[in-house]
Amino acid sequence: MSNFARHDDKANKGSDALVAGPWSPLRVRVYRALWIAALVSNVGTFMHIAAAGWAMTSLTDSPTLVGLVQTSWAVPGFLLALHSGAFADIIDRRNLITITQIAALLIAAALAVLVWADQLSVNSLLAGTFLESVALTLAAPAFMALTPQLVDAKILPQALGLDSVSRNIAQTVGPALAGVLIATFDPGAVFMLNAVSYVGIVIVVRRYRPAVTHAKRPTGVNRAIYEGLVHVAKSKSLRNIAVRLTLVMTGSAALMAMIPVVAKSSLGVSASGFGVMSGALGVGAVLAVWGLPALLSRLSIETVALWSALVWSGGTVIFANTNSLSVAVAALLVCGASGMGMMYVLFSSFMLQLPNLLRGRGSSLAMLMVWLGASVGAVGWGLASSAYGVGAALTATAAVNVAIAIVSRVALRVNG
């Protein structure tokens, strides 16, 4: 078994040899291998999330408890984001990624065993989902900080775009595949397949041998966290983006959390139909990734963000008030594309404004703000759904999202 090295590819011998198209980073062998492995793992992760939501609807009829599946997935990002960013800049990233992927594998396999033994409960499902998220939260900043080490700075934006493509392809394929497996077998099969999906990442990361670097690493977790926070706090643009990430996620979290409830109670679809509905978000997001660069070349970041919010809210209102599966899928396609528009312009701007030495900690702070919004939003909109109905809550979240976009355009502007 040969080792990967950063400059072991002809495509890596000079950045000028690379055509700066959307696929350019895939010419770098190590990045290509890790991207493929991560794509497989991301598919497994979205399969897991979809299966956990569906399994919860089989254990309880409470919209609040169903919403807690998303909360249990989101809370670790809030609790551990800053520490995971510090770990990514302190600990050898290969070791950190390896340990966390093995842990995630074991947790997913344990959930599969519980399903097959007919011992899965509300508590064990929430606990397993929480622990799975803990493992992946600890790994996320290490992955994000690793990307600039693998590709030339000139094609870093394309690499970030491909990372989004991977996640959104997985969001498309994962839930649909989960629906098929649940209908054919049970959620346990999904959890076990997710466990297997981590093997590729472990193999690729262990084969990678980074170039020797003499960059000084932080000597303490708290000091590392402090340095990252101070840097973001001193930058008005980074600070505004961080706040907006939280607001956008808070306003839009209801849609993903309530898809299982709408699928089962309002539309009466099977597990396969639920998978198609969830996958529609990913299809829309992938399409948006390819269209957004051209759109941003003509329009400002603020204009794209505002129109994305308006379109997302319109799609959400349609989804909340339809009894047709085809209309619901079309609305979710629109929501997936516009939701990507809202997040892409913010997150890509944030990452590109971070210096390399602080990218692990800075990206973890962005992740913290995203998970904070997702956690608060999932709980709040879940309670609103229980009190006023799913349709009313989704209509309200559409209105809130528009208000957030308008206020942010004035008070929290983004540079670039």
DSSP 106-173: HHHHHHHHHHHTT---HHHHHHHHHHHHHHHHHHHHHHHHHHHHHS-GGGHHHHHHHHHHHHHHHHHH
Residue 365's contacts (CB-CB under 8 Å, 6 or more residues apart) are: 81, 82, 85, 228, 229, 232, 242
What tokens were used for 365?
């702070």
- What residue ranges do the domains of the chain occupy? 25-411
Task: Please state which CATH class domain 25-411 belongs to.
Answer: mainly alpha
Per-residue pLDDT of 154-168, as tens digits, reads: 777 677 778 877 887
Token readout for 250 is 């808070």
* CA 319 distance to own-chain centroid: 22
Taking 70 as the pLDDT cut, the residues of the chain under it are 1-22, 153, 157, 211-219, 289, 293, 297, 356, 416
Exposure string over 358-394, b if 16+ CB within 10 A, otherwise e: bbbbbbbbbbbbbbbbbbbbbbbbbebbbeeebbebb
d(CA 105, CA 82): 23
Q: What is the DSSP letter of 358?
A: G
The Cα 90–Cα 92 span in angstroms is 7
Predicted pLDDT at 148 = 76
At residue 12, the pLDDT reads 44
What distance in Å separates the CA atoms of residue 218 and residue 315, rounded to the nearest whole number? 45
What tens digit of pLDDT does each residue of 63-116 get? 888 888 888 887 887 788 888 888 888 888 889 999 999 999 999 999 999 999
For residue 92, count CB atoms less than 10 angstroms from its CB and return exposed for 0-12, middle for 13-18, buried for 19 or more.
exposed
Q: What is the pLDDT of residue 324?
A: 85
Q: How many helices (H) and strands (E) are present in the chain, helices listed first?
A: 14, 2
CA separation, residue 96 to residues 87, 135, 142, 227 (Å):
8, 10, 7, 21
CA dihedral angle for residue 97, residue 285, residue 160, residue 137, rounded to 10 degrees: -30
The whole-angstrom separation of Cα 268 and Cα 83 is: 42
State the distance between the two ends of the chain, measured CA to CA, in whole angstroms. Answer: 44
pLDDT at 213: 57
Q: Is 217 left (phi over 0), alpha (psi -120 to 50) or beta?
A: beta
Determine the Cα–Cα distance for residues 378 and 47; give it in Å rounded to an integer: 19
86 neighbors 224 (Cβ within 8 angstroms): yes
Token readout for 256 is: 């993903």
